[in-house]
Structure 1
Amino acid sequence: MIAAAVLLSTFAMVPLLKTNFFDAGEQEVLTVKQELEPGTSLQAADEAARKVEQVLTDDKGVKDYQVTVGSSGFMAAFGGGTGSNQASYQVTLKDAADYEDAQNRIDEALGKLDGIGDTTIAAGDGFGSQDLSVVVKASDGDVLKKAAEAVRTEVATIKDVTDVQSDLAQSVPRISVTANDKAAAAGFDSTTLGGIVAGAVRGTPAGTATLDDTERDIVIKSARPAATMAELKALPLGPVKLGDIAAVELVPGPVSMTRIDGQRAATITAKPVGDNTGAVSTTLASKIDALDLPEGATATIGGVSEDQNEAFMQLGLAMLAAIAIVFMLLVATFRSLIQPLILLVSVPFAATGALALLLITGTPLGVPAMIGMLMLIGIVVTNAIVLIDLINQYRDRGLGIVEAVIEGGRHRFRPILMTALATIFALLPMALGVTGEGGFISQPLGVVVIGGLISSTLLTLLLVPTLYAMVELRKERRAKKKAAKRAAKAGVPAQPEPEEARETEPSGV
């Protein structure tokens, strides 16, 4: 009954656990993103960036920072890049423990500034991307835009996420050239003008050439290519200028165009706050399921949620495979189907201590913790094997079941306990997080293995011998009953049991 209660408590602890993919670890890096109005010049963006830099310089918790303003200036208008209206900052902190305070101080200081556009602050990625993402697909561009905005608005209502962005909402200024009535009279149309403008800014491809065994593109460029809108409008096209026969202007355009399975797609991303990514993913899934999207649009959850689910599923299958392999090896070793099952009883009870210690320490159940669970399968069975093997040896020497169990437990108690304690103390530095930058992996693993060893060691010394005695005594009684029946049928009087064989089932072995 006690064992059943412990097992039920193990299942009861599962909903209480925090879950994530990989712990972000101690954050020493902040990412600050700044976005100004589309079309902002590089010089104006640089001036706005200097205001943000001053805040970072004055903050006592900032060790150093790196800033990137724009990407390729006027050339960004011809595709790719982030444009000159954006800036990004990689901020290194003096102390990782000051992370939340530093983030709040910087956010508050930036909120007091004017003319710096929109700014967002988020943690730098720990191990891989920790972003949640929702992929929205639709065949029609307008439907996709409405659906993506609806999803972005809904995701922004989740209290445990920050930095909600849609790649469809992101834009860079692009040059738009629209021919007017004078263009036709001059012999130009919109397609021709577009090619001329592209050649004036980027150059005209003129084939390839092999130089130093490397094939290179040949591009013919003007000695003074247009670098501003005014210069582009003044571009001579025979007797007329470009600005006379076409409307030349900067318009916002998408950063990229994505298609998935033939449909247009947009991705909405958000950074989860805290270490319970699983709970945030569950909230996100419920909100997306309840969202009424425009007809023809679909939304699926990806990002860290998908990575976490896939990793947990694969590790769960690995655990089942490990248990099956261990069982087959034990069957071959003990030449029995029952005794290996008794040995494997210690495996689920190892999870009891592992999950309990995760709850006590507030450590999330992530991939490192799941790897620790996988390790426990082999570790906890080892102690049970050496105990049952010694009990079987005593029985082969002629001892009764109860006596063999008592002697086996007495002789194996010290070695099993010392082995478990040695392993636990060796893993303490990992569990305490004093192993350096890799602590976000080693700490959950150490906590799981230590907790599992504590519970499995106690159960190996108490539950496994008890189950062994119960099963073997029952088998012995059944064997004696069958022998008595066979003797009765044969007319042979049953032999009285020797005193040593008259053993009762133990109540507390």
Structure 2
Amino acid sequence: MGFSLSIPITGKIKSSTFPPQDSEYITASIDFPRGTPFAKRVKITRDVEEHIKATDGFMNYSFFNPNSLMMGGRNQSLYIGLGDPRNRIITSFDVADNLREKFKDVEGADIRIKQQSAGPPESDFPILFQINGDNLKDLKSAAKEAGDYLKELDDVRLVNDGVEGETEPQIKVELDKKKMKDENVVPVVAAAVVRNIFAMESVAKIRPEDTGETINLNLLTEKKFRDSNNDLEKTKVPKTDGSTIELKKIAKITEVNELASINKYDGKRYIKVQAELKEGTEAASVEKKINNFLSADKLEDLGLEKDAVSYRGEVMANSEALDKIFIMLLLAMIFVYIILVAQFNSFFQPLIIVMAVPLALVGVFPALLITGNVLSFLANVGVVALVGIVVNDAIVFIDYANRLYRRDNDFVQALITAGQVRFKPILSTSITTIGGVLPLALVSDFWGPIGMAIIGGLAFSTIGTLVVIPAAYTFLHNASGSISKALGR
């Protein structure tokens, strides 16, 4: 029993909320680095198309947004049709692997192939975590190290560290407070001058008589003065005495490559690191490696707080789903117990009947492991459904044993007779239920986990009803007798 219940903890059963299926199509996503020229984006897209056409199992393809390239988009997504899985030998998993191998030759973009899951849309990256902090330089350094570490792992196929390919050329202006004080320049005025160079400033509003609509007049520095350091350095900044001074004398102006956007969460900056895994790789095992690499000491060495990393990937989604399933399972057991208390007019006998539920769990995990099914959302739904199914055999057994005991006043003989008389009905009920669920487990990969969870749990709980339940009932009966004698009743 201990071994069976420990199977999910050991990781022998793969866990996924909605595992990918052999589907009628897959999708390809092309991500271009910032600043990729239009001609290069077109060439890469054409190369991807040629690889798709030359792949076995391919039927047709189309773009989700054909105008994305023309509009300067950094992402191009394709739908790749494969046809009905029942009418082809090669699976969508094989097609995806073949394409990934071919796309290794395509340079200048990150190309991802995504298998379709049977559930709602999920994140493209099973591994996804945020590195939070106030210092952007430290964040970039930590994200780069985490990305480099992930690239070295054999289980990881593609990595986006949130830094590489996300930067673009920028002009950085750092005002020097000491120099501004020495030159009698008001910092707010200097900052306003710099801001007005790069951003439009509303200077007036007009309302033509013929239309009556208000029109904003905005002032923006010409592009040639914004793109040239030399012109920017010569920008005049007013002083308190009415004269002006060149910007370069009170500020440091440099050309840098910085992140195109800064993301914030709970008031702190963060950089998102993402990774795609090879088929069959458990996200939990990779996330554990990352957690060990980005230890509290490591984060402190990088200038970040000990809890600077927060995970948002597949593991977190699975954990949240399992938490909800556990609450549902607990509520189901409570409701069943309350109903049984009213039926048996006892608080103790329903506890014995509800024991059939953990007995069923002992059979669920080996069944999933042997058949190669995943501990998915539907498998967990099957576990919850077992609460209402497996108690039926225990109810039949306990109820009949109680009637025999009240009639003959021989507890042990009542249990033996109940086992003999109810053996065939209990076995028949379980076999017919298993027979009804069996097509569900065999016909579809989608419904397979829920079917096998019910079959495995019901099979083991049937044995438990005839062996463990009588033993537990005997123990409870003897214990209650001893307590009654001790109290002098």
- TM-score band, normalised by the shorter chain? 0.7 to 0.9
Question: In 1, distance between residues paired with 2:196 and 2:462?
Answer: 81
Q: Distance in 2 between matches of 1:218 and 1:342?
A: 79
1:174: Cα distance to partner? 7.4
* Aligned match for 2:227, one of 228, 236, 247: 247
What residue is the counterpart of 2:133 in the other structure? 138
Q: Deviations over 1:392-423 (max 9, x none)?
A: 12223335223322332233222222221122
CA deviations over 1:238-260 (Å, ceiling 9, x no partner): xxx854x4536999664532111
Deviation at 1:194, TM superposition (A): 3.5
Contact 1:20 1:277 (C-alpha < 8 Å) held by counterparts: no
User: Counterpart of 2:239?
Assistant: none
TM-score, length of structure 1 as denominator length: 0.71
Matched residues in 1 for 2:206 and 2:257: separation?
30
Match of 1:394, SS state, is: helix
Q: 1:352 aligns with which of 356, 362, 366?
A: 362
Shift of 1:300: 1.9
**3-state SS of 2:419 partner:** helix
Q: Does 1:123 align with 2:103?
A: no
Residue among 7, 22, 46 paired with 1:13: 7
Which secondary structure does the structure 2 equivalent of 1:292 belong to?
helix
Q: 1:40 to 1:284 in 2, by over 3 A?
A: closer
**Equivalent residue in structure 1 for 2:466, among 446, 461, 464:** 461
Query: Gaps (5+ residues) in structure 2?
Result: 174-191, 208-212, 230-254
Question: What is the match of residue 63 of structure 1?
Answer: 59
Q: Go from structure 1 to structure 2 and tell me whether the alpha carbon gap of 1:19 and 1:283 turns closer, same or farther (over 3 Å shift).
A: farther
**Distance in 2 (alpha carbons) for counterparts of 1:165 and 1:205:** 46
Secondary structure of the residue that 1:163 maps to in structure 2?
Answer: strand
Q: How does 1:258-273 map to 2 (within 5 A)?
A: 258-273=263-278
Q: 2:357, 2:391 within 8 Å by CA — same for their partners in 1?
A: yes
The answer to whether the 8 Å contact 1:176/1:248 transfers is no
Change (3 A) 1:429 1:276: farther
Equivalences, count: 424
1:20-419 alignment runs, 5 A limit: 20-36=16-32, 38-67=34-63, 68=65, 71=68, 82-83=73-74, 86-94=75-83, 98-112=91-105, 116-126=107-117, 127=119, 128-130=121-123, 131-171=126-166, 191-195=195-199, 243=224, 245-247=225-227, 254=259, 256-273=261-278, 274=280, 276-289=282-295, 292-293=298-299, 294-296=302-304, 298-398=308-408, 400-419=410-429
Please tell me whether the aligned partners of residues 30 and 112 of structure 2 are also in contact (alpha carbons under 8 angstroms).
Answer: no
Q: Which protein is bigger by CA-based radius of gyration?
A: 1
* Residue 72 of structure 1, CA deviation: 6.8
- Provide the C-alpha distance between the structure 2 equivalents of 1:177 and 1:18, rounded to a whole number of angstroms: 49
**Cα distance 1:137–1:70, how it changes in 2: closer, same or farther (>3 A)?**
farther
- The whole-number CA distance in structure 2 between the counterparts of 1:175 and 1:219 is 28
- 1:409–1:461 contact (8 Å) kept in structure 2: yes
Change (3 A) 1:340 1:174: same
**Identity rate, percent:** 26
What's the TM-score, normalizing by structure 2? 0.74
2:452 match: 447
Aligned residue identity for 2:275? A
